[in-house]
Each structure stands twice: as structure tokens, then as C-alpha cells.
Amino acid sequence: MTSFHRRALAAALVLALLGGAAPAAAGPPAERAVPAAHAPAADRAGTDGPRSTGATDRVVVKFREDARSTPRTRERVYAEAAEQLAPPGGAASGPGAPAPRLDEISETVDSARVVAAGDLLDPRQLETLTDALEEDPAVEYAEPDRLASIAATPDDPYYATSQWNLQPTPAGLGLPAAWDRATGAGQTIAVVDTGITSHPDLDANVLPGYDFVSLHAGAVQPGHARDGDGWDPDPRDEGDYAGADECWSGSAARSSSWHGTHTAGIAAARGGNATGVAGVAYDAALLPVRALGACGDGYVSDIAVAIAWAAGEDVGTVPANPRPATVVNLSLGFLSGTCPAVLQDGIDRALARGASVVVAAGNNDRDARMESPANCRGVITVAATTAHGGRAAYSNWGRVTLAAPGGDPARQILSTANSGGNRPGSGSYSYKYGTSMASPTVAGIVALVRETDPSLTPAQVKDVLVATARPLPGPCPGGCGAGLVHPRAAVARATLQEGYTVQGAIGALHARIGSSTGAPRSHERCGLVRDGCYQEFERGAVYWSPDTGARWVHGAVRGAWNRAGGVNGLLGYPRTVEVGNGAGGVHQLFQGGTVVWSAGTGAVPVRGAIGGRWASLGGETGLLGYPLDAERGGLTGGGALQDFARGRILWSPATGAQPVHGAIGRAHADLRGEQGRLGYPVTPELRAGGTTVQHFQGGSIAYHRGGITISYR
């Protein structure tokens, strides 16, 4: 497997913005959040201005295989190319200034090098530099490492009062008809954006993500991390606010957009929880991947690695992503007539790992072929429509896959937000409009389709969406691809509900238990992880792998298994059918654990060291009884715990898995459990005479004749 590696080659890099006149080329303004009540005039006024569409201080250089491991060759190439930027004269500044120094600062996709100059280079300088680099026989390609921005929208925001975009109206998507069959369970949607903030309508669905914003040294400027370090495991949105002149010369101060929180909510805000809004795939998991910093900008080299990591690619020193995305959303873009090679490489790696990549078409009312990543190969490019069903005036057109609601000033898209002006505050809701909103809508629909048929490849998912799209209710000057995305039809096509036969091992099992499964509701589909196959039936599904054979899984047990990731999760394939336990419940064994069900507790998985310990204590009919919820990690010292009907099991690397229950368990909990002075248990309860004692890292708890005695070391 090819790995990404990231090795900092410079201790710090201070990048200065060019002063003087505003850049000649102007980009789109940033999206505007609209409060729930009428905004004061100052909030409604546009504060965004032009930014450079070409200036950057970095280039990406890919060396040919025989030159990669030769530092002197690379240094020579950089020095000779930099000389091409030096005007005659050699003055200290202005015309005739000396050539900039080019320094390698990291690696990105496929061992390509990220090379930084000391200052921003304008489009002419970039063309000169990249041409000079590519003329060297040691170089495979060289290209600007451009700053990609949030897919922006026009100013003048108005208000919307409901999620019109999801309703069964001519311009809406009619999601309830699709939710009857799929809600995104078992799917992971990666949101490569500004990061995420805590929100009561998101937190239950959010997985641990990662921060790939590399720029952190020096003064705040476009793409700055603001968190004091480079890549790290904290994808929290630090705010993309900026002071006057920090985004570009002459730019006004701006508040934080909380763009990643908004797009995440569109894709997968929790549904059915009597709170706020419902996301398109409200049972899917959200993987926040931060790649955009100050001003809503981020370097393409960071974005490329973020995409690949989200899909499960090895990125060297970064810990592997334990829950690879099935779909990656990119609500970002920049003007470029071609897709940069480094960005295409990151996308290709995600596609190769089975993750669809959904991107915003852009908001410049131009052919999407002129923007990246909208013009990259293999992506699903999404234009924006309005509440009247036509293409939004700002939306790009032409080379797009299809369209989805993105709103306009009169009717915007409601989603999760944050109350903070600059730094994060409390969770809130706001309205925005743009192709940034249309893209996560389609990402959520991809999750519905993938839940229906996990074996579909990204190309097949794209074919399903294209084949089932419907004509726009309104006009689309320039073309909107296949039309308006149609969730119900897409899910129905993936489900394939009639005319199906059974065969092989799955057919043999169906022949034995057909009265339980009902009629087939799909063809047998293969290509799952570890060469597995499955087939849908009226009342569940049969899954097969070379290691486990064909096994029937259905009902609440299947639901809990899907929430844990299905065949792609830690539980893996089923090893047995459901088995009654003699106590009114059932359990089913999987490769990585067990799912246990009772009428009082529902279906809950148990696995790993905690599951093994629970089984040794008699499982659901033993000491602790049924599990109440899934294992929870992230405790003090890297520990985990799981609650059961009559106690809990605590695990840490230092102590292993130990049960606590009864009076001793209650006393331990009253003393702040594993976070308190006693810490984790190191033994189970031990009985000697009339006394029961349990030992902990920091002491012991003894129970004797109804009394508790606590001893500390």
C-alpha cells in the first residue's frame, strides 16, 4: 500500500500578504448566515470583497521516481527555478528584488513535495516558477498549491421558515418517501470543511475526526489554523473570522461562518429527536475533517490528504481512520481550468477505497469546468436550485452531474450553526444558500443509497443518481446535468424490488429458512469487504463471506449491527443466527462481538475485552445481565466502559476489564468512578469470611454487614 508521509522540513514559515493595490481578479463573496429573527442592518449588509484567485505562496512538485530520494537533486531544482523569478538588478525590494527562497515544508499525496516561497506569488510569477520547475527532467509535474475557499454565495440574505428543501413539493426532494426505506444507518459522511462545533443536533452522530490545516506559524492570514499547531486530532472549528486586511488587501473584518457545522447538519443532523432540524441521512455518522482555516481558506495539498485519510488511506504519521467514509463532501472550490494533479490524486484514492466524492459546483454563474474540484474526474458535481425549482442565479452550470436545493436570498436552507461571532459559542440554527448547501444534500442521499446497497461502487452510485434524477420544475440556463436529484427513486432503484432469484450459499440458506426471510428484494450483490456478498429479503438480509458462510440477520439486531458499521465495522460478518437465551431475549454472534436483545433493553453490541469479560461472567443471564448501551471509549487514561442492567465493566490498558456492581459499584461511582482518586478496578470483588472487597488503582472498597469502608493507598 502506498503511504502518505508528512515530514516538516522547516521549523517555521512566516508568509506575508502582498500589499498595495487589490488583486486584479475578483472571487465570489462568502456565504452569509441569517439569524432566526430579522437581522439588524449591519448584519444584512455585505462585508466581503474581492480576493485573489491566483496568488499563493506554495507550489506542489512531484519528482520522478529516481529523483525522490535525492535531496541534493531537489535542492538544485528549486534553486534553478527560483532564479527564473529574480528580475535583473538584485535590489532588496521592488523591481529587481532577489529571487525568493524555495523550501520544502512537507509531503502530500504520492510523495509529492509542498514547496513554499517567502511571499505570495502572483499568477505571472506562479506561471514562471511552475514552467521552470517542469522543464527540469527530474520533475514529473509542478503546480500552484492554491487556496481553496468555502463555496460562497451572494449577499442580501433573507429568511426561510422551514426545511422546504426536504418537503414533497415540486421544488423539494420528498425525503419522507425515501426515509421509509433508508435513513443512512451504517454509513459515514466525511465533511471536509472548516471543522465542526458542538451542537445538540449533531453530537450524537459525530465521530472523532482530524485537523489537516497545516499553516499555523506567524500572523493570521488566509488558511491559518489558529490552534497553535499543524495537523492534529482535533477537528474543532476554531472560527474562520478575520480582521480588516487579513483575507486580502482591503478586505473588511468578517465574523466566523461555522460553515462546516452548517454543511454537516444538512447531511446528517439527528432526526426524530424532537430537536431542531433533520439531516438528509439523519442516522448516518458524521466524520468532521478540518481543512479550511482563517478566511474560509485552505491549501489544496492539505485538502487532498484530508480526502484520502477520510476514506481510509494511510497517511503516514497520522493515525489510521477507524471509520472510513462511504461518502466525502467538499463544499469548497477555487477558480481553475484544470483539476490540480495533487487534488485529483487524493480524490482517486478515495474513489478506489469505495467512497463517493460529492462537490459543490461553485457560485460564479459560469461553466463548472472552470472551477475545482467541480472539474475533477470521478466526482459528483452539484448545482443549486431555488424554491421555485430553477437553477439559482449564482450557481455554476454546464459540466455538473445533477442539481439539488441550495436556496436563494428569498428562501434559504436551514441547518445547524453556532451563536459565536468569532470564537465558538453555543449551538444554534441559521439560514444559508449556495452550492455549499446543495452538495451535502446529495452527500446525504448517497448515504441513503449506500445503506440500501453497500456493494455499490462510487461509479455505480453516480449512475443511480443520474438515472433517477427528474427534470427541474424551473429553467436551468446552461444545463444542470441529469436534473434534480430524486431520493425516493434513487433508493428504489438501489433496492430493486422485484424479479429476483437466489443462488449459491445464500440460496441454499434461503431454501431452508425461506419462511423467515420472505421473498427476495434484490439480486445477490458481491464486492463487500473481505470478498463478501449479501442479498435483501422481505424481512432482513443474508450475508455471506468465505470465513463465516451464509447467515441471516434481521430486525433490531440488524439495526444495532448496522449502527456499529455493519460488515465494515468492528463487529464484521455474522457468525451465527439469532439464538434464544432462555430468559426472554436473543443474541447473535459476529466476528468481532455479540449483539444482545431483550424487550426491556433493545439490541446492544458487546465486543472486545469488555465483551469477553461479560461473557465470562455468564453473559446476559449472569452477574451483570443485559447491556444497556454500547461501549463508550475516551475515558481517563485511554479507558472504556459499558453499562449493564446490574453494573458496569471498566477497562483500561493498565488494568484490563473488571466488573463493578452492587454496593461497591455504587460507592465507586459516588467517588467519581475512574476519574476519582480510586481510579480503575484492578480486581473483581473478592470475598473473605463476611467481607467483600474490591481493589482499585488508588485503594480499595470493602463491604461488611451493610457498611462500606474505603481505604486509599
User: Which residues are marked as active site?
Assistant: 193, 259, 436
* Helix, strand or coil, per DSSP, at residue 537: strand
Give the DSSP per-residue string, 207-276. PP-EE-----SSS--TT---SSSSSBS--B-----B-TTSSSTTPPPB----HHHHHHHHHH---SSSSS
Nearest alpha carbon to residue 290 among 364, 345, 233, 357 = 233
Widest CA span in the chain: 95
The C-alpha cell that represents 670 in the structure block: 459516588
Question: Which residue is listed with cell 477555487?
Answer: 334
DSSP 634-680: EEGGGEEEEEETTEEEEEETTTEEEEE-HHHHHHHHHTTGGGSSS-S
Grid cell digits, residue 161? 421558515
- For strands 147-150 and 139-144, give the pairing: unpaired
Pair type for strands 147-150 and 593-598: unpaired
Tell me how crowded residue 579 is: count the other CB atoms within 10 A of its CB.
12
Q: Give how far Cα 3 sits from Cα of 303, 316, 431, 506, 623, Å.
A: 16, 6, 40, 37, 47
For 144-204, give the secondary structure using H, E and C. Answer: ECCEEEECCCCCCCCCCCCCHHHCCCCCCCCHHHHHCCCCCCCCEEEEEECCECCCCCCHH
Residue pair 237/256 in contact by the 8 Å Cβ criterion: yes
The residues, ordered by sequence, that sit 6+ positions from 294 with a Cβ below 8 Å of its Cβ are 220, 221, 222, 223, 224, 225, 226, 240, 241, 242, 246, 247
- Give backbone dihedrals phi and psi of 587, rounded to 5 degrees, phi first: -140, 155
Nearest to residue 260, comparing CAs of 224, 227, 236, 234?
236
Q: Scan for cell 419462511, then name that residue.
A: 515
Helix (H, G, I), strand (E, B) or coil at 632: strand
User: Strand pairing partners for 541?
Assistant: 536, 553
Contact 80, 43 (CB under 8 A): no
Q: Give the separation between CA 624 and CA 7, rounded to whole angstroms.
A: 49
> Rounded distance, CA 402 to CA 400, Å?
6
Q: Return the C-alpha torsion angle 369, 370, 372, 375, nearest 10.
A: 10
| DSSP β-ladder status, 427-432 and 593-598 | unpaired
Give how far the C-alpha of residue 144 lies from the chain's centroid of Cα atoms, to the nearest Å: 26
Q: Which helix (H) or strand (E) holds 490?
A: helix 487-495
CA angle 561, 564, 568 (to 5 degrees): 90
Residues 6+ apart with CB under 8 A from 91: 97, 98
Q: Kindly state the cell numbers that stand for 368.
A: 463548472
DSSP 354: T
